[in-house]
Structure 1
Amino acid sequence: MTATPNSDERRQPEGWHVRQTIPARFAREMLAGAGLDRATLLPILERCDLSEAALSGHSRLVPRDYLTLTRLVIAQSGDEMRGCFAKPVPLGTFAQLLRLLVYLPTLEAVFAEAARFYALYNEAPPWQVEKHDKLIRLRLLPARAEQVQSALYPHFMLLSLWHVGSWLVKETLPVQRVVLPESLAEFSKQARFLFGRQAEFGPHAYLELAESELQRAPLRAPHEAARLARYMPLRLVSPGQAVDLESQVRGLLSAARPFASLSEQQAARQLGMARQTLVRRLALLDTSYHRIREELRRDLACALLSQGTQSIALIAEHMGYSEPSAFQRAFKQWTGVPPGEYRRERLQRQS
């Protein structure tokens, strides 16, 4: 039986146990690409209850704050592509493009036409469609130094291509490979969560799909485009469908009391499988029960510290730590900053 959540738990951001926290680097690169001056930027950060210090180093943002920041930056800059291209993409362009793409005969034609369209703003096609035997690669073509050096850009572009293609055919496209630039190997866990599979790293960034998948015809109607455009920022921080098992494990751990105290054996029993089967299936996702539990604790700690309604000692107790010092060490290992410093930055901004 699931325990009834208390009032503090009800105030936790919706979906906190499903969506991971976001690296602050993604936010820094988005802000840099938007080109907002400091006088414009500071009020935006205030509305998100964020400080400039909260975006530094290896800090992480809860999804709610990152989504709010994303929407405010897009609205203020008037650029749907968050500064990723050489020229701003006017608001409403994405939805209008979708209304036209639904009439094309295949997904291959959709991706090729969309690349030609965005070349108007990028000064070159941002990706190209390549055939390799019975596979097709959607390979990014970085045209600017900022795109080459960015962590946000390849995640944002490849996820957008995948979600748009899946939306058009009304089911998740099965990706054969996700390859990101070699310099982004430190984001392997984030990529695995977002794409639902382990990413590889190489000289080029691309998605690889079966050629037969890209010969499928779009099934959407033009009037459905506005809804996808509205919810695309949320999709870009949600888990890939292939990690449903990981989401189930996170849900079981979040319901346990003390928090995340469920053993691997108990979780496997509740999922209707042997412990060895759970271990093996999580290994196929390149993760483990221990890793999921630690990431879950990190994400909840960030959410609770952001609210500022509980002491660090109470948060440590709620999360099953026998001593606050143990929680403090763990939180600093997760985020690079002590929990007290993380909370002070947030509360100072909120006040």
Structure 2
Amino acid sequence: MRKRYFETPFIPAQIDAFFTCLFTEIVAKCAGTSWSSKETLITVSDPKALPGDFKGSKPIKGDKFGHRIAFPAAWLNLEFSKEGYFQIPADESGERKPPRSLTESVSEALRPHVDAGFLSNKKAAEIFGLSEQQLARKLRKEGTTLGKLLADLKRNRAEELLKEGDHSVTRVAEMLGYSDATSFAHAFKGWTGIPPSKIKKDI
């Protein structure tokens, strides 16, 4: 049995609802103009976990075996149109975005945890669901390290907190997991070339 690195923050009903939404969307895309909520029966462990009028249908409560989607067998013979379905999403300028890199994904996943106390390499890897060695190896292929990512995240968050003006240097140091303001000031100056107190004075 594989070791589980962290506990999921989602309750089973939410997970069930997520996959219900995912698979229902796939069925709807495949059915195209033939889609009809009246011909579709969606069963989920807790209907309250879904929007009240989900896809025009009213999901019913199922059992412990999770979600089920019933639809006409004739839909299986429909020709699936790939047009506009497998395209990379466009940004506001209309340009297609390239696939997200692992570096971007890791940074986004860790950002909410930066000012929740000391965030070590090991803890960061656990949050992302990998061992420290696995994550380090994957990031190395993209030319970066977990240590650099964490330093960038801490620097950016430190600058945000200091510029907000609501926190002292000592408090920011505590939020970012430093043992004292001196250690934080040393790290901050290494990142930016200036002491954190300078940021506070310039506000």
User: Which structure would you say has the larger Rg?
Assistant: 2
Q: Larger helix proportion, structure 1 or 2?
A: 1
TM value normalised by structure 2: 0.49
With CA pairs under 8 Å and 6+ residues apart, which has the higher RCO, 1 or 2?
Answer: 1
Q: Larger strand proportion, structure 1 or 2?
A: 1
